[in-house]
Amino acid sequence: MPTSLWSLILPMTIIIVGVLALRRPAWQVAAVAMVATGVVTVATDPSVARNVPSALAAALVLAADAGIVIVPGLWLNDLLKASGGHNRVVEWVGAWPAVPGFAAVILTTGFAPALESITGFGVSLLVTVPVLLHILPRRQALTASLLSLTIMPWGTAGLATSLAADMTGISVTALGTASAMLSFAVFPCFAALVGHIVAGGNRKVVLAGAGLGLLFSTTLLAVNLLGMVSVAGIVAGAVTGVVGYAIMARRSRRLTPRPPWQALAPYGIAIALIVIQHLLGATFDTGRFGAIDAGSVRFEPLTSPGIALCMASIYTAWRSHNTGSARNVASSAWKPVVVLLAFAGVAQFMSLSGAITVIGTLISHTGRVGYIAFAPVLAIASGYLAGSNTAANALMATSQATVGAPWSSTLAVALQNSGAGHAVFASVPETVLVLGIAGEGTRQEETHLLRTAATVLIMVWAIITIGAVVATA
C-alpha cells in the first residue's frame, strides 16, 4: 500500500473511533486528526515539509470563509433571542393550522433549503433549530434540523457547483443539471425521512414529505436546465415552501396566522443584501477586491454573506437597543470554527501527501466496477471530512474528473458535487453548529446526531452509487 494513503486512512480512523466509539468532543477529535495527519504526511515524505505553511494557510482561509458567516449569524441569533424576535417567529409557526409533523416537513423541505441557498454555512439553522425546538420534542427537533441541510451543492448561491465547474472547465449549467439529476431522489427521501421521524411514522405526513420533496427536485432540475444554477436552490425551496403552506391553509378550517413581519425583517434585510451582493459581484466582479488566495483556495470577503448578516445584526441591535452578548456568541462560535479549521487542515494534508492522486490512479486501474465501488465513497467521504461542499470539491473535483473521464467527466464531477454536498449534513462541524444554536447540548446528544447521520449516509451512498451505475452504462 502506498505510504501516502496513510494520510487518508489515519484521519478517518481517528474520526470514527474518537467520535463514534470514544465519544470525545468533536473539536478534540478534529484537532487530533489534523495534527496526526500532518505528522504522518511529513514523516512519510519529508520533502513536503516546505509546503506545510501553505497548506495551513489554505485551511485558515477556509475557516475564515466560514467564520465570517458563522460569527455574525450567531450574533443575529443572540440578538433575536434577546429581543423576542425568535419567540414571535416560533409562535407564528407553532400557530400554523397543521400538525407539528407537517409543519416541520414544510419548514425543512422548503423554507430552510431556500434560506440555506442564499446564505450557506448552515445559517438556515438559526431559524430551523429554534422553531423546531418549539413544536417538537428536543431530539426530534435536532435530528430534523440536521436533515434539513440537504441543499449544499446549491448552497450559497451554488458556490460549490460553480467552483467545481471552474476547476474542471465544465459548463456551470451542464454541471448543475447533471448534479440535479443525480440528486433527484435525495430530496424526496430526506423529506419522507423527516416526516417519519417527526410524526412517528404517520403515513400522511410521510407521503406529504415525499410529495413536497418530489416537487423540490422537479423545480430544482427545471431551474438548472434554464441555466440559473445560482438561484436554483432558492427558487426550489421557495416554491416548495409556499405550495406546502398553501395546501396547509386550504385544508384547514382555522385562520392562517399573519406572519410577524417585524420579527422577520432582519432575515429579509439579510436576504436582500445578499442578493444585492451577488448582483454587484456578477456586474462589477467585486469579489476580486480584497480577495485572499492560498493554494487552490480563494476567499472573497466582499461577496461573503457574512457581511449581510453583520449589517442585519447591526440593524437589529439598533432597533432593539441591545448589542447582545459577546460571551454567548464566542462560546457558540469557537467550536464549529475550530472543527472546520482542523478538518480543512486534514483535507489539505491529504492533498499535500499525494493520497488523492494515488487513489485516482488506483481506481482508474480497476475499470468500471472499481469506479462504481470507490468514486461515490470518495465523494461522500470528502464532504463528511471537510464539512464543506466547497472545500470537498476544491480537494476532489479535478481528481474525480480525471478518474471518470472514460465515461463522462461532467457526470463524474456531478457525482463528486452531489455526493460531497449531501454528506455535509452528517459532518462534525454541522452537528456542533446545531447543538451550539440549540444551547445546552450534551455529549450524548452530539453522539446521537452523529450516529443517526452516519446511518442516513448509507441512503445517500446508495442513491449516488445508482447514479454512478447509470452514468457509466
pLDDT of residue 275: 77
CB 436 within 8 A of CB 446: no
For residue 109, the 8-state DSSP code is I
Q: How far apart are CA 28 and CA 19, in angstroms?
A: 9
What's the pLDDT at 254?
67
Q: Could you give the CA distance from residue 396 to residue 55 in angstroms, rounded to a whole number? A: 15
Q: In this structure, what is the dihedral angle of CA atoms 386, 387, 391, 397, given to the nearest 10 degrees?
A: 80
Burial (CB < 10 A; 0-12, 13-18, 19+), residue 45, is: middle
DSSP per residue, 30-59: HHHHHHHHHHHHHHH-GGGGGGHHHHHHHH
Q: Using CA of residue 258, residue 262, residue 263, residue 265, what is the dihedral sign?
A: positive
* Phi-psi domain of 33 (left: phi exceeds 0; alpha: psi -120 through 50; beta: other): alpha
Contacts of 18 (CB under 8 A, 6+ apart): 24, 28, 29, 32, 33
Other Cβ atoms less than 10 A from the Cβ of 138: the count is 13
Tell me if 258 sits within 8 A of 184, measured CB to CB: no
**For residue 222, what is its C-alpha cell?**
427545471
List CB contacts of 464: < 8 A, sequence separation 6 or more: 182, 376, 379, 380, 415, 418, 419, 422
Asked if 175 contacts 410 with a C-beta cutoff of 8 angstroms, the reply is: yes
Q: Cell 447591526 belongs to which residue?
A: 314
Determine phi and psi for 298, rounding to 5 degrees.
-130, 130
φ, ψ for residue 297, nearest 5 deg: -100, 140
From the list 324, 148, 157, the residue with the least C-alpha distance to 231 is: 157
**Cβ proximity of 339 and 69 under 8 Å:** no
Amino acid at site 287: G
Low-confidence ranges of the chain (pLDDT < 50): none
Distance CA 329, CA 307 (A): 16
The three cell numbers locating residue 272: 436582500
Q: Is 148 helix (H, G, I), strand (E, B) or coil?
A: coil
Tell which phi-psi region holds residue 354, choosing left (phi > 0), alpha (psi between -120 and 50) or beta: left
Report the pLDDT value the prediction gives residue 459, as an integer from 0 to 100.
Answer: 94
How is residue 15 written as a grid cell? 474520526
Cell numbers representing residue 404 in the block: 471518470
The DSSP letter of residue 258 is P
**Residues with Cβ < 8 Å from 341, sequence gap 6 or more?**
34, 59, 60, 62, 63
Q: What is the CA radius of gyration of the chain?
A: 21
Q: Is the pTM of this model over 0.85?
A: no
